Chains A and B, each alone.
Chain A
């Protein structure tokens, strides 16, 4: 177990290292820098700035400094808002993102699993058809379409919710739907097909042959086995929520990290772009790591030694 965790952690760090290196050199490939932009700065000021950001140093030195800072969790200073460090930007704006993201994850898991199980148990009935429609819509309609449409109908036309902002609990509803639609669709589909498969498994027949009641069989023998694979979706779901939040926060005017990221991209604020990318990647890795470790605990069949690496 310790070995398994250690290996996983090592790969996590390796991935982050490669990503950090790649982003660093990518940003260096860009001709010029953000300060060479619109209006020409006086040479002296320009040189001062260059020195402040270490741009006057040879490339390998810049890289080493950058890596050294990273080890100390220092992501550098913003190139636009020069008084702000990337760390402080993340600290400030991630709270909103995290709140929304966690709500969306919880809603996705509960609604997705619920829909999946109910539609598997009432296979080919109305609720099953409803779930397939939800699943197809969730997969096919992008968040940047759902968001504006929700805003138009429920915000503008019906006036039920605020079009933008994240001040009261009700404000969470529309962004959460936009964000959770895709994960709900995935989880519902996954749970449904697992549940159908499990209900046809030999061991369910064994349970029936013991004379156990159907409700007991479902909750004791089927549910757990059907939900298990959903755990593996936790990693990709985090990725979906992160990418989704980039759009959804911009649409609903939520001052979160996603919105800031978009802003920094259009401002070409390279340190922020690099920092936020690494931050997102770390969150994702941690989610993946937790998934892997959790799976070992939940599923007694997994032997730690030989697990096929596949996402």
Chain B
């Protein structure tokens, strides 16, 4: 349906490495990440806090302040253009118009002293060159689209007059106002009540169908991924440890970390007696990343080689790949 889909993905990230310079040294927050997003697709990036998923997302929009951050290497091709070569001016043209972002905490992400309407229209006036009246009409349209009742009056209200869920809807309206090709949603439901979470996910799901916008959904909750995403990328210690379609990942995870994430998730479809199993231990120290697999110290299946050598992403059939020695032919032989 889209030309780009035939030739190349809408977004392609290759070997992205981002570090932070802090007093203790260099924190290697993202250590060589490759993934792509096709047009109209929803990609989930899953991992616990500190795994590099937010840094990756903010680097896509070049929102991450530098210093202290530093993009060490890699390439981000978005709509056929290299993001990392763009100037700040060019990025400003892109942000808000071609790519939008929503953040974790809707309580602090909106400016408390400006009306909601102004915060939507400033976007439209800048990128779509609308006049005030046009922008206002469009803003009301957007608020209706994300399911805010009484949009005509709500538009003149301040953020504190909205509930958390409503604010997140406003954030979605802002991000989607210019009809961007890509929406990056960074933990969009984490700060909300469970029932509100479901509503926000519902909004995203519906808009996904209507606007043909690609979405990158960043979350620590695999449960959210299941309902909304086409493909999943699991990150751990600044690397991608597993990637595949939702079906592949959920039915046969190939990385012990993914398996751990799934086991720690309450499920409705299994017998009640199956206990939830937490993943013990702490995430790796990214100032001194381990020589071997970053997950090895917490891994129940760890082998000698895991402590010595960091595995590559190993193809596991289909579109699935996992960064784990267990999938190496030698390991299969040893187990057999």
Contacts and interface: CB of A to CB of B under 8 A. Distances in A.
Whether A and B touch directly in their complex, counting CB atoms under 8 A apart, is answered as yes
Contacts of B5: none
Contacts of B4: none
A220 B114 CA distance: 9
B50 to A, nearest CB: 19
Kindly state the interface size class of chain B when it binds its partner. 20 to 34
Interface in A196-222: 201-203, 205-214, 216, 220-221
A51 interface: no
Given A202-B108, A225-B113, A300-B112, A213 B92 contact: yes
A275 B149 CA distance: 59
Contact of A207 (B111, B127, B158): B111
A211 B103 contact: no
Given A205-B63, A300-B160, A220 B122 contact: yes
A303 to B, nearest CB: 8
Given A209-B175, A211-B95, A211-B127, A300 B122 contact: no
Contacts of B72: none
Interface in B75-123: 88, 91-97, 100-101, 103, 105, 108-114, 119, 122-123
B166 interface: no
B89 to A, nearest CB: 8
A228 interface: yes
B44 to A, nearest CB: 20
Contacts of A228: 113
Contact of B108 (A201, A216, A224): A201
Nearest to B94: A211
B111 A300 contact: no
Contacts of A202: 103, 105, 108-109
B18 interface: no
Contact of B123 (A210, A213, A299): A210
B257 to A, nearest CB: 29
Interface in A178-212: 201-203, 205-212
B171 interface: yes
B41 to A, nearest CB: 21
Interface string A224-245: 1100100000000000000000
Contacts of B14: none
Given A211-B92, A301-B112, A206 B158 contact: no
B108 A301 contact: no
B110 A209 contact: no
Nearest to A299: B113
Contacts of A300: 112-113, 158, 160
A164 B110 CA distance: 53
Interface in B146-167: 158, 160
Contacts of B101: 206, 209
A209 B61 contact: yes
Contact of B100 (A205, A209, A299, A301): A209
B63 A209 contact: yes
B308 interface: no
* Most chain B Cβ neighbours within 10 Å, of A216, A228, A301: A301
Contacts of B100: 209-210
A214 B87 CA distance: 13
Contacts of A212: 92, 96, 122-123, 126
Given A211-B92, A211-B96, A203 B122 contact: no
Contacts of B158: 300-301
B174 interface: yes
A230 to B, nearest CB: 14
Given A209-B175, A210-B123, A212-B96, A224 B103 contact: no
B103 to A, nearest CB: 6
Contacts of B95: 208-211
Contacts of B96: 209-212
Contacts of A206: 101, 103, 109-111, 119, 171, 174
A202 to B, nearest CB: 4
Given A202-B103, A221-B114, A301-B158, A210 B126 contact: yes
Interface string B274-292: 0000000000000000000
A291 to B, nearest CB: 17
Nearest to A208: B63
A206 B63 CA distance: 10
A39 B92 CA distance: 83
Contact of B113 (A209, A210, A214, A224): A224
Nearest to A228: B113
Contact of B109 (A205, A216, A224): A205
B175 A203 contact: no
A196 to B, nearest CB: 13
Given A202-B103, A209-B61, 17 more contacts: A202-B108, A203-B110, A203-B111, A206-B110, A209-B95, A209-B103, A210-B123, A210-B174, A211-B92, A211-B93, A211-B123, A211-B127, A221-B111, A221-B114, A300-B112, A300-B160, A301-B112
24 contacts: A202-B103, A206-B111, A209-B61, A209-B63, A209-B96, A209-B101, A209-B103, A210-B96, A211-B91, A211-B93, A211-B96, A212-B92, A212-B96, A212-B123, A212-B126, A220-B114, A224-B113, A225-B111, A225-B112, A228-B113, A299-B113, A300-B160, A301-B113, A301-B160
Interface of B: 61, 63, 88, 91-97, 100-101, 103, 105, 108-114, 119, 122-123, 126-127, 158, 160, 171, 174-175
Interface of A: 201-203, 205-214, 216, 220-221, 224-225, 228, 299-301
Q: What are the 9 tightest A-B residue pairs by CB atom distance, in nearest-first order?
A: A211-B95, A211-B96, A210-B96, A202-B108, A209-B101, A203-B111, A300-B158, A211-B92, A202-B109
